[in-house]
Amino acid sequence: MTASLNFAVRPPMLGQPVRSARMSLLDHDERRRRIAGVAVDIIAREGIQAATIRRIAAEVGFSTTVVTHYFAEKQELLRWTYRVLTEEGGARLEQALSADPTDLLAALLAMSAIDAANIRLWRVFVAFCDEAARDPVFAGEQRLHTDRAIARIAELIRARYGERDDIDAVSRLLNGLVQGISIQVVVDPARWSPDQIRSVLDAQVRMLLETPPAP
């Protein structure tokens, strides 16, 4: 019966293992992302120490054996979790820029802990700051993420205001402001309302980029 499925238009069998391997790799990565996404949720709610293999497996609905099949050790899982975290943040940033790709203020707000979804991401980011202080691999991941954020801000400044001699300095300052405010929101959310965050960032953008230099 199986011989009847060998149609003449079928690709050579030599290609089948390649295709199967690609599909398997996609499925493998998708499951890793699913597991890492659950880890993000746990860390946001309870901190990095709560994100044990057993706890993550229980919440994702897998056995611990399945989780360890995809992640040989907890540090590997945490590195994937950090990457998923930065991807979620990046997606929110690009969504904020969909109406106007040069809207610097919208980008800075999307990078800040201005709403519940972003506060969730920032809680995890803050948790990883402690990990980065003791783990050079995490430190490298965090440095790369920060460099990309600064570069993205610089792109938006060029697109909105043209080339300037101070783009790097301004980009670093604005990124540092976003990080500082967001960490404060995580620690003491009552001190920063969304309107206050918007007002401070808007004022800084205007002062740094729109105020004419003193004669």
Angle at 150 between CA 120 and CA 49, to 5 degrees: 30
CATH T-level fold of 15-210 = Tetracycline Repressor; domain 2 (1.10.357)
Angle at 13 between CA 9 and CA 18, to 5 degrees: 115
How many Å apart are CA 123 and CA 101, to the nearest integer? Answer: 27
Judge if pTM exceeds 0.85: no
DSSP letter (8 states) at residue 166: T
Which single residue is written with the structure tokens 């990309």? 148
Q: Which of 143, 164, 159, 144 is nearest to 107 (CA)?
A: 159
Count the helix, strand and coil residues of the chain and give each as a percent rounded to the nearest 5: 80, 0, 20
The answer for residues whose C-beta is within 8 angstroms of residue 63's C-beta and 6 or more apart is 57
Q: Which of 139, 23, 143 is nearest to 78 (CA)?
A: 139
Query: Burial level of 99, CB count in 10 A (0-12/13-18/19+)?
Result: exposed
CB 39 within 8 A of CB 56: yes
CB 110 within 8 A of CB 70: no
Digits of tens for pLDDT over the chain (215 positions)? 444 333 333 444 444 444 444 435 457 788 898 999 999 999 999 999 999 999 999 999 999 999 999 998 888 898 889 888 999 999 999 999 999 999 999 999 999 999 999 999 999 999 998 888 888 888 998 899 999 999 999 999 999 999 999 999 999 999 999 999 999 999 999 999 999 999 999 999 999 998 765 55
Which single residue is written with the structure tokens 């309302």? 193
CB 154 within 8 A of CB 107: no
